[in-house]
Structure formats: C-alpha cells, structure tokens
C-alpha cells in the first residue's frame, strides 16, 4: 500500500475510485490490463490520501443531486478498507449531502456499512451490485482467491433484500471450459431468484483478455488448469472478446429464466436504472446523527 495526493475524485459521470489496484487476486481481472497505465504493482494498492476531502468539496459544489458510483476499477471493499474506512467516510458524506449511491463489490465487508446504506436508500437511493461467477465455492476459491465465496455473497444479497436495498448481479465473467456450464448458470440464477435481485447484468457468456491481464490469466491457468492455456491460444489467439462455445445455449437459459421471474436483463435498462437519481424523492441535505 502507498499513498498519493489526487487532483480529483469524481469523474464526469460521478464515478470515484478511492483505491487503485486490488488484493482480491481474481485470475481474470481486466483492471490488470496495460491500457489503464498503472505505474505500480497491482497488489501495491494506491490510496488517495486526500480522497475524502476532495469528495466533500465535490459534493458540496454539486447543484444537482446524483448517483455516486464506485467499484468499476477497484473493489471499494478490499481488506485494507477494514482499517482505513475511507468507504464508510464517503457514505457519510453522500448521505449528508443528499446524493445517491451505488457500488460494485465481491466482498461481504459491505455489510459493515449497512446502516449508512439504509439511510441513503431511505433518503434518496442506494443500489448494491454484486459479482457472481461460479456457484462452486471450491472453484470460486481458485478464480477469486482472496475474497468471500459465492455463497457468502448470496447471503449478502439476501440481507440487503431483507433491508429493502435493491441489488444488481454481474454475471461475469464466464470463462470458456471452466464455468460455462448449464449447471453453473442455472444455480447462479437460482441464487438470484431466491435473493430477489432486481437485475442481472450479462454481456454474453464469455470474458475479455488483453495485454496485461492475458498474461496473468494464462499464468493462473498453468497453475490450476494444466493444458487449458494452449486450448485458449488455439481457439482465441489474441482476441479481446472471448465467447464461450456454449454462449448461445446459456444466453437462452439466462434470458428465459430472468424474464419468467421479472428480473431486469436488458443492459441499457439496468445502467439507466443505476444512474437515474430519484427526483421525486426528498433531496434536501441531511444532518448526520
């Protein structure tokens, strides 16, 4: 871990990243790609030391209330957040200044901040997005070794539902010849139905690979799935978008079952929902108790 002083904290679309880099160890992580120009080791997490101050100033200046998002590049609930509590301080500010909140995570650490997420949701809007890739917890420990298992994430989704907080699941990536099975997709969908998720984001049954994350992924394939790297190279060469050979069959299952259970599955509709601030709700500034 190392600290920097950032110039800004919010993007033009009101996204933020308090941290850069990750310690979850997911073997497929796109954020390792060289295109993002990370000039430090991925596990040497960069902490924006002045991030909370920048966020406070940015939220105070905003004339319109918006949804503040995080987690697109780095999971905001990596282990060091347990001690630093930057995410919790951010939620306090988001609540205080009457904005909404959404994040993408794989960690059950988010439940530490359930009280604040509930307050934001009651005042404006909060949506939690959770990634699920495999229903097999032993496989999960290989694909995502340093974060809670799928079943633990499903328990998070259920807890959020019990507290009336809407959830979106990211059903990705689906790795060819690894978790691209009917059994896996159906079990994850069963979990989502049981947890009453509002929507599921699925960009097709597959994954992405490019310089930086491809090399790391192939190294992990050699460790855990001997011989599979050669199959990837023969089949996909240097393609960026990699579709499972079962894509058509699995997408049919996904669309049919989500439609049957009234779960949002249209990508554009889900992103519109995530970014839409509820103007009909009260947006007055709130004093923290």
Task: List domains and CATH numbers for the chain.
Answer: 2-275 (3.20.20.70)
- Please list the rounded mean pLDDT of every run of 10 residues in the chain (289 residues): 96 96 97 94 96 97 96 95 98 98 98 98 98 98 98 98 98 98 98 98 97 97 98 96 98 98 98 91 43
Using a cut of 0.85, tell me whether the model's pTM lies above it. Answer: yes
What pLDDT score does 283 carry? 46
Provide the pLDDT for residue 279.
79
**Which sign does the torsion angle of CA 24, 69, 82, 154 carry?**
negative
Exposure b/e, 223-235, CB count within 10 A at least 16 = b:
eebeebeeebeee
Q: Is the peptide bond before 67 cis (omega within 30 degrees of 0)?
A: no
Burial letters for 243-252: b for 16+ Cβ neighbours within 10 Å, e otherwise? bbebbeebbe
């Amino acid at each position: 871990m190392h600290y920097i002083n950032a110039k800004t904290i919010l993007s033009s679309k009101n996204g933020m990243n308090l941290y850069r880099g990750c310690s979850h160890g997911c073997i497929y992580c796109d954020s390792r790609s060289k295109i993002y120009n990370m000039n430090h080791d991925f596990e040497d997490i960069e902490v924006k030391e002045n991030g909370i101050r920048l966020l406070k100033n940015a939220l105070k200046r905003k004339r319109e209330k918006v949804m503040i998002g995080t987690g697109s590049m780095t999971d905001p609930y990596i282990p060091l957040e347990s001690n630093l509590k930057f995410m919790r301080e951010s939620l306090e500010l988001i609540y205080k200044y009457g904005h909404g909140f959404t994040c993408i995570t794989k960690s059950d650490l988010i439940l530490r901040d359930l009280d604040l997420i509930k307050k934001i949701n009651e005042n404006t809007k909060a949506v939690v997005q959770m990634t699920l890739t495999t229903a097999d917890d032993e496989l999960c420990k290989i694909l995502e070794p340093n974060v809670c298992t799928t079943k633990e994430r499903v328990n998070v989704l259920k807890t959020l539902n019990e507290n009336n907080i809407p959830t979106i699941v990211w059903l990705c990536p689906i790795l060819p010849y690894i978790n691209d099975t009917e059994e896996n997709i159906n079990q994850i969908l069963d979990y989502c139905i049981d947890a009453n998720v509002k929507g599921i984001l699925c960009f097709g049954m597959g994954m992405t690979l490019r310089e930086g994350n491809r090399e790391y992924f192939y190294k992990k394939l050699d460790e855990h799935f001997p011989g599979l790297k050669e199959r990837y190279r023969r089949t996909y060469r240097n393609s960026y978008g990699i579709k499972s050979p079962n894509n058509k069959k699995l997408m049919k299952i996904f669309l049919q079952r989500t439609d049957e259970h009234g779960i949002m599955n249209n990508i554009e509709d889900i992103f519109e929902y995530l970014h839409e601030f509820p103007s009909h709700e009260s947006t007055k500034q709130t004093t923290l108790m």
